[in-house]
Chains A and B, each alone.
Chain A
Amino acid sequence: MDIVLLITQAVNGLQLGVLLFLLSAGLTLTFGIMDLINLAHASFYMLGAFFGATVAIYTGSFTLGFFAAIIGVLIVAWVIEKGIISQLYTRDHLDQLLATFGLILIADTLVHMIWGPAGLAIALPPLLQGQVALGGVTLPSYRILIIGVGLLVALGLYWLVNHTRTGMLIRAGASNRRMLGNLGVDVGSLFAAVFCMGAALAGVAGILITPITEASIGMGNDIIITAFVVVIIGGIGSIKGAFVAAIIIGMIDTFGRAFLDQIFMMIMPAETAETAAPAVSAMLIYLLMAIILSLRPAGLFPPKLR
């Protein structure tokens, strides 16, 4: 097997993993700490893309668009948390599912009304349009940027969660939120902050993917299922778990798409392999989830419960 291709695909897998991590970091925190199933997380991803793309088109600057996406999503998330989500923390999961699914429908329709059905495409700055060659491996420079941003965010989160007072409260919340409240911590504000931060990370993922695909209605609904798989494999509430699981899934998905047909061709006729490979590679991450859950029902890195 070609070593250059192998490295290229590994980088592709890393990039997909990093993007998945941005999306699932917020999801695992809200799920783990607030016990909130938030399908509307997908909408923050979409809104990040639309806010960022709009500003990027209007000002001609991708960088401005990037920050606009974060600020825009933060504001929307804060309003939604105060108005709707905060009412849901004490309700059961079915209510949360229904309410946040409703939010998705509202967000999709609002986007349709404001931006039309066509979606938005944005141009990359010339610096990022090309490719970079690293020792014989040529890669799109923008994908390298995604990896860089994703790893920076991961480092930032690691520092925040493990080395700050806020992080300590977040970890405490993931372990036992009632105890945390009884100790006099303002759980409401903590929840709001965590919710908004998670939403902003989804918004970052949204604006980062826009130059590769585009900002389109329902774009988050396509990927939110995968993000939930990441959260469950990683262990609900664990940032570290989300990171590891996201990278694993990014790699498995990419390598499945890249090499599965060739592997299948070694053991079955070419025509069968041709139809079997895409079907199996689409299932790979779910197979992985099934295997991991059968071995470790609480995921790879479940927060310690007391």
Chain B
Amino acid sequence: MKKLAVALLASASLCTTAMAADDAIQVGFVTTLTTGGAVIGNDMRDAVNLALDHMDNTMGGKPVTVLFEDDGFKPATGKQATDKLIKEDNVDIIAGYIWSHVLMASYRSALKADKVIISANAGPSAIAGKLCDPNFFSTSWQNDQTPMALGELLNARDVKSLYLMAPNYAAGKDMVAGVERTFKGEIIGKDLTKWGADAQLDFSAELAKAKASGAEGLAVFYPGKAGGAFIKQYQQAGLADTMPLYTMFTVDALSLPKLQEANMTGILGSEMSMFWSPEMDNPANQKFVAGFREKYGRYPSFYAAQSYDAMNLIKSAADALDGDFSSTSAVRYELAKANFDSIRGDFEFGNNHMPIQNFYARKVVEDADGNWTTEITKTVFEKHQDTYAASCSM
């Protein structure tokens, strides 16, 4: 009896999803909504909801629903969430993914089901290179590009000797390698710190080494809460006056309000490399940032910007196809045109469907209302393509 009920329920829900697929577009969005990583996931979800507001919940004349799923910061959970979206909800397209290892775990599921998968953050080298696939698109960047831009920025700032710090995991090593690839001065010290479930958040030993090394600059990659912790200790150690700090994915709209609350003035003026900044002067970005600040009362982070772009990229394909997502090849043909107003200005996709785009130096400033934010100081790379595109056979 119980089994029968379950079967009936299951078939009923199948019917409703099948019906919904016809007159509505369903987007699956996988991000981190629990654990400390939820700060990022919330920002992305807010941006997606703002994008839906801006498009009146319609794409190609059809109503849109976005199903958010939590990856719990774990590859296994992320894959389960992706499988659920594909098999149970039968979504038309999947987007999201903060973490490279979660994306890597979920990637196959989407490809096997012939679904288009759009990364709104993670950009692992494998997917940009050998494992590239026509069904994959990115509205962010390939992991190596931002550190390569940082290395170039350090050259431009005439930094001769550098101390490098990053967490000891795949992305951390990528970041270090990226800086090393373009930086022309000498790297006189390097620390890879413990990461994962019991990540190291006290950097006293490393900061003492950096100080003793006498390097002209300190370059770090510490995403999430480790970033805030690092910057506080950098200032408490008195390095702010003697050793300028350069960062990658460490200082953003999520960490700056907290740094301001903690009065960490040492971060003002510090530079980083990034493909985007909230004050960029193009209509799409102005509308996004103004709308985000009005709706949520804070600056959007780059994670939010990439998510907003992901939704508009999907809309561009839906509009071109009148909302008919039945043919995946037609969808990806339209997506590959990148025919929408991006928050970063015009860009195009490379052969591996990673954006070919500009990278900038931006620095931490105080805006007219006294909030800390970032501002572009110079263009480091123009129309930069990642190095792995060459090994992608597409």
Which chain A residues have a beta carbon within 8 Å of chain B's beta carbons? 2, 4-5, 8-9, 12-13, 15-16, 57, 112, 117-124, 129-131, 138, 140, 142-143, 209, 211-214, 216-218, 221-223, 225-226, 254-255, 257-258, 261, 274-275, 278-279, 281-282
Contacts and interface: CB of A to CB of B under 8 A. Distances in A.
26 contacts: A12-B204, A12-B205, A16-B204, A112-B34, A117-B35, A117-B36, A117-B41, A119-B258, A120-B258, A121-B228, A121-B261, A121-B262, A122-B261, A123-B262, A124-B263, A131-B236, A131-B238, A143-B204, A209-B202, A213-B225, A222-B197, A226-B198, A254-B204, A257-B206, A278-B192, A278-B194
Given A121-B258, A122-B262, A257-B205, A212 B233 contact: yes
Contacts of A8: 208, 212
B236 A129 contact: yes
Nearest to A12: B204
Contacts of B34: 112, 117
Contacts of A211: 232, 262
A12 B200 CA distance: 14
A221 B196 CA distance: 11
Contact of B238 (A121, A123, A138, A209): A138
Interface in B196-236: 197-202, 204-206, 208-209, 212, 225, 228-229, 232-233, 235-236
B31 to A, nearest CB: 12
Q: Of A9, A223, A282, which is in contact with the most chain B CB atoms at under 10 Å from its CB?
A: A282
A12 B194 CA distance: 17
B254 interface: yes
A254 B191 CA distance: 13
B38 A257 contact: no
B89 to A, nearest CB: 25
A2 B202 CA distance: 22
Given A121-B259, A213-B229, 5 more contacts: A9-B205, A121-B232, A129-B235, A140-B237, A278-B192
Contact of A282 (B36, B194, B208, B238): B194
B125 to A, nearest CB: 18
A287 to B, nearest CB: 15
The list of the 6 closest CB pairs from A to B, nearest first, reads: A117-B38, A213-B229, A121-B258, A12-B204, A140-B236, A123-B263
A218 B36 contact: yes
Contact of A214 (B37, B206, B225, B238): B225
Given A118-B254, A123-B262, A2 B212 contact: yes
B343 to A, nearest CB: 23
Given A2-B212, A222-B199, A130 B228 contact: no
B364 to A, nearest CB: 16
Interface in B18-62: 34-39, 41-42
Nearest to B38: A117
B208 A9 contact: yes
Contacts of A222: 197-199, 201
B168 A112 contact: no
A5 B212 contact: yes
B130 interface: no
A291 B76 CA distance: 35
Interface string B232-254: 11011110000000000000001
B236 A142 contact: yes
Nearest to B198: A222
B312 to A, nearest CB: 26
B94 to A, nearest CB: 23
B190 interface: yes
Nearest to A221: B197
Given A57-B261, A112-B34, A214-B258, A274 B205 contact: no
A258 B232 contact: no
A119 B42 contact: no
B232 A213 contact: yes
A124 B202 CA distance: 17
Contacts of A12: 204-205, 208
Contacts of B199: 222
Contact of B193 (A119, A123, A226, A278): A278
B35 A5 contact: no
A254 B259 CA distance: 26
A281 B202 CA distance: 14
Contact of A140 (B35, B201, B238, B262): B238
Contacts of B232: 121, 211-214
Contact of A274 (B41, B190, B193, B238): B190
A232 B335 CA distance: 57
Nearest to B255: A121
Given A57-B261, A222-B199, A5 B208 contact: yes
A236 B34 CA distance: 34
Contacts of A221: 197-198
Nearest to A4: B212
Contacts of B235: 129
Contacts of B190: 274
A119 B205 contact: no
Contacts of B193: 257, 278
A119 B201 contact: no
A121 B258 CA distance: 6
Contact of B229 (A57, A214, A254, A274): A214
A282 B200 CA distance: 9
A119 B36 CA distance: 8
A255 to B, nearest CB: 8
A216 B225 CA distance: 8
Nearest to B209: A258
B238 A117 contact: no
Given A216-B225, A222-B198, A225-B198, A15 B258 contact: no
